[in-house]
Homo-oligomer: A and B are copies of this chain.
């Protein structure tokens, strides 16, 4: 049996998962890869931290050079996270002819090009399945299995924390804060949950998926982002009334030769497969011009699911017909140039919830303004009693219209004397085009 020596940068959640899998599935991995995989070194910050897994002390180091300068190490797994020194370490490893597997979405979304180019120019493999949706093989799916397709649209539930929170709000009627607290208690949300609940994490992942699916460079700033902190139980109730659910979706669509890139809470029909993705599960729904509708569903995070993606990437490197001594990888993707749509022009259906004075003529004033901006309404709902301030809630659902039209008209609407506040605006996606 051939042997390959690998190094791990990082022994946190993902690193630990990788160690456990390499250990417990040793026999499978040998049979499938044709190699005995040996961990040569593991880089950490703190040598004395208890690791909770069975790893020989001698493997652990805080000196990156022990890995960089060991020519017997052929594959390096980056599971540290963050931009630096992860970026610098990977670049240096590639200059030494080491293949890379990484789970680092933030780095890929912001500095991906540089890393891909270095891999290409050195004939190396660079794999990153774990960076999006953990154990779900969506990167491989797009990169290997949907290659015959023009991908037209992609919709992802790619953040488990927010999906867990929205599930709790939907099924148990919790408020956002309560649901977040529960997610934190369950270990699904971090002490500082900003990256998840404000949609940054999903934004990174969408940038990675879109650049792969559309063969183009995506500047993260071109991805519109809106988090879930503004969703209220009453919005959940209205969604239910419309036979819809609210999900944080990462969406990319090609429309008139432009890419729309956006992360935002979205009302989708209860019957759609994405609507039935609950708790901390993730899913990615893709429309290809040949394959039609396709969905991948599974665990988006966690030590073992994420480790599964990392180790499968390692096996893919070992099984490729690459000569590990001579680095002859020839797989190169030519990049397309794609135009990005301005979010203001991106069209959608919208749900608008407002609190207004309970007096005759209010609705007339509102619809007059919407008419002026060419926003046409599909339905209007007003029910329930006045609150203490004499306001009632109305909900408007529009036909397809641009964000600019909505924002401009809502701006004008909120300046009406009879309108107390526009409380929420949520996009509706019914998957019909």
Contact = CB atoms under 8 A, between A and B. Distances in A.
Interface stretch (A141-149, A377-385, A399-407): A141-149
A72 interface: no
Interface in A369-418: none
A85 to B, nearest CB: 27
11 contacts: A17-B290, A21-B148, A31-B215, A32-B333, A137-B145, A147-B315, A148-B315, A290-B311, A291-B309, A292-B305, A296-B296
Nearest to A149: B308
A29 interface: yes
A290 B21 contact: yes
A349 to B, nearest CB: 23
A121 interface: no
Contacts of A51: none
A336 interface: yes
Contact of A29 (B147, B292, B330): B147
Contacts of A320: 320-321
Interface string A230-244: 000000000000000
A83 interface: no
Contact of A304 (B291, B329, B330): B291
A415 to B, nearest CB: 45
A56 interface: no
Interface in A309-352: 309-312, 314-316, 319-322, 328-334, 336
B136 A294 contact: yes
A297 interface: yes
Interface string A128-164: 0100000111001100111111100000000000000
Select the residue from A144, A148, A310 with max chain B CB neighbours within 10 A. A148
B305 A291 contact: yes
A297 to B, nearest CB: 4
Given A34-B332, A291-B135, A298-B293, A307 B29 contact: no
Interface in A270-302: 273, 276-277, 281, 288-299, 302
B312 A24 contact: no
A183 to B, nearest CB: 19
Contact of A319 (B281, B299, B331): B331
Contact of A298 (B136, B295, B319, B336): B295
A148 B29 contact: yes
A153 to B, nearest CB: 14
Interface centre among A28, A309, A336 (most CB of B within 10 A): A28
A48 interface: no
A433 interface: no
B276 A290 contact: no
